[in-house]
Amino acid sequence: MTHQGLLPSVLIGAVASARSMTPMAAIASARLAGAKTPGKLWLLDHPLFKFGALAMGAGELYGDKMKTAPDRTVFLGLLARVMSAGIAGAALAPRNKAHEGATVAIATAVPLAYATLAARKQGIKKIGQTRSGLIEDALIVAAGAAIVTWAVRR
């Protein structure tokens, strides 16, 4: 296996750094559309997971614009990123490489959460919380969808 085999896992970890629920929502959307992920995880086929992931993804996009929203680097924010990146990284990894996929996704998501937070704070200073959040949403949701689409078609 080449390192390129884990590239979708790394990239989905980057998505999780900015929006913890977007990787799971992107995978749930693909699964609802009938796509199969390279990695096999039983929960990806459970209806509660699929619809729950979509609801949580939408809820996060809404909640992020609230002035009381916590930074993504607080303990629970990082925990959500670790869990989401790990599951998504495993799902997008080549067959029998789930542990490696989860590891690289988590190793990408956690440090990048600090970088994406710093970028977001700069955006808030320049254009405000809502506008910077909407721009970040558009970029991250598009990236998540593109990465999952690419991974399931490989």
Instruction: Work out the average pLDDT over 59-70.
Output: 84
The C-alpha angle 140, 59, 147, rounded to 5 degrees, equals 25
Number of C-alpha atoms within 13 angstroms, CB side, residue 139? 13
Instruction: Work out the average pLDDT over 106-135.
Output: 96
| Domain edges within the chain | 3-153
Distances (CA, A) of 74 to 41, 96, 101, 114, 151: 28, 33, 24, 10, 30
Please give the full DSSP string across 33-53, using - where no structure is assigned: TT---SS--GGGG-HHHHHHH
Q: Sorting pLDDT into bands at 50, 70 and 90, what band is 90? A: very high
Q: Sorting pLDDT into bands at 50, 70 and 90, what band is 1? A: very low
What's the confidence (pLDDT) of residue 68? 83
Torsional sign, CA 148, 150, 153, 154: negative
Query: Which pTM does this prediction carry?
Result: 0.91
Q: What number of other Cβ atoms are within 10 A of residue 62's Cβ?
A: 11
**Which candidate, 87, 122, 118, places its Cα nearest to that of 13?**
87
Q: 35 is written with which tokens?
A: 């796509």
